[in-house]
């Protein structure tokens, strides 16, 4: 099975968010970028499928600026991906998610792809659209919110569950298709030092970004706002648990007005 996994570098979860000088986006000065959490699960899932299905290959693809995109591709190679492709996007404004999906589609369409895996969403822009947009570009069906993914060679079907608003759905689908994983239910492996060292020398194929068709809609960030810092909790003083409960209920009703 030819497995493609799409990854994105995102600011580390512990990043202290600051607004850029022009007020339109996140200030990325001194921000540490890492492989997005959901994407880490997607890489793990790709590697598990490869291990369970001998002869499979995992091709990791990312679209974004230097150096962070190259770094997450190398991190994925160190984890065990076989091949990497980088669609280089000029630094500056982060690409609109649809632009990123189109860029990924260009890289994926020119390589073998039976199964394309994506994370559910990236922890920065939280758009959650890349998997479906990529599938539409490739003319493939896609499945989001997927849990528990298995390949059944007997029936040549992918079997999986989806956690949607209506409950847990069981599906089977032939390849090729695109799958966006719901959440980290697997326990992603960590790379070993020799593999990390080796990954620094592995080749990464580069694909240029194609200009957007003039008819295509796009989005442009105009403002990035941080909420006023929370000043810390108002502490409820009490002598008995019952008093604490009464005071809290009164506050929620009369002051916070959240309690019906």
Enumerate residues 174-213 that contact another protein by CB under 8 A.
Answer: 174, 177, 183-185, 213
* CB contact burial 221-242 (16+ within 10 A = b; e otherwise): eeeeeeeeeeeeeeeeeeeeee
Does the footprint of another protein cover residue 239 (CB under 8 A)? no
With contacts defined by CB under 8 A, name the span among 48-56, 71-79, 97-105, 202-210 that binds another protein. Answer: 97-105
Shortest Å, Cβ 211 to another protein? 15
Structure tokens at 229: 């810092």
Shortest Å, Cβ 227 to another protein? 7
Enumerate residues 47-66 that contact another protein by CB under 8 A.
Answer: none
Does the footprint of another protein cover residue 217 (CB under 8 A)? yes
* Interacting residue with another protein among 37, 64, 80, 95 (CB under 8 A): 37
Binding mask 113-152 for another protein (x = CB under 8 A): ----------xxxxxxxxxxx-xxx-xxxxxxx-------
Q: SS3 for 178?
A: strand
Shortest Å, Cβ 17 to another protein? 5
Q: If we measure between CA atoms, which residue out of 88, 136, 143 comes closest to residue 117?
A: 143
Q: SS3 for 56?
A: coil
Q: What angle do CA 123, 19, 184 make, to 5 degrees?
A: 10
Neighbours of 32 (CB within 10 A): 11
Beta carbon nearer to another protein, 80 or 131: 131
CA atoms of 95 and 149, how far apart (whole Å): 30
Shortest Å, Cβ 116 to another protein? 14
Does the footprint of another protein cover residue 21 (CB under 8 A)? no
Structure tokens at 156: 């040549």
Does the footprint of another protein cover residue 171 (CB under 8 A)? yes
Shortest Å, Cβ 55 to another protein? 24
Largest CA distance in the chain: 70
The secondary structure element, H or E, covering residue 109 is: helix 97-109
The secondary structure element, H or E, covering residue 142 is: strand 142-152
Does the footprint of another protein cover residue 20 (CB under 8 A)? no
Does the footprint of another protein cover residue 258 (CB under 8 A)? yes
Beta carbon nearer to another protein, 111 or 140: 140
């Amino acid at each position: 099975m030819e497995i493609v996994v799409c990854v994105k570098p995102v600011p580390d979860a512990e990043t202290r968010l600051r607004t850029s000088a022009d007020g339109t986006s996140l200030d990325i000065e001194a921000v540490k970028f890492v492989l997005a959490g959901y994407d880490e699960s997607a890489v793990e899932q790709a590697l598990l499928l490869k291990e369970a299905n001998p002869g499979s290959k995992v091709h990791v693809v990312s679209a974004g600026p230097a150096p962070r995109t190259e770094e997450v591709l190398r991190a994925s190679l160190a984890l065990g991906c076989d091949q990497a492709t980088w669609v280089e996007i000029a630094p500056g404004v982060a690409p609109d998610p649809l632009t990123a999906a189109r860029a990924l589609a260009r890289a994926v369409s020119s390589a073998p792809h039976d199964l394309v895996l994506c994370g559910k969403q990236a922890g920065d822009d939280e758009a959650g659209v890349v998997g479906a947009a990529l599938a539409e570009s490739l003319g493939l069906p896609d499945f989001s919110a997927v849990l528990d993914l298995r390949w059944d060679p007997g029936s040549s079907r992918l079997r999986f569950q989806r956690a949607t608003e209506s409950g847990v759905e069981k599906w089977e689908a032939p390849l090729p298709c695109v799958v966006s994983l719901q959440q980290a239910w697997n326990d992603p492996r960590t790379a070993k030092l020799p593999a990390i060292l080796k990954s620094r020398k592995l080749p990464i194929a580069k694909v240029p970004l194609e200009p957007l068709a003039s008819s295509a809609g796009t989005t442009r960030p105009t403002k990035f706002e941080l909420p006023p810092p929370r000043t810390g909790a108002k502490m409820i003083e009490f002598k008995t648990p019952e008093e604490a409960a009464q005071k809290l209920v009164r506050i929620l009703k009369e002051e916070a007005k959240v309690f019906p």
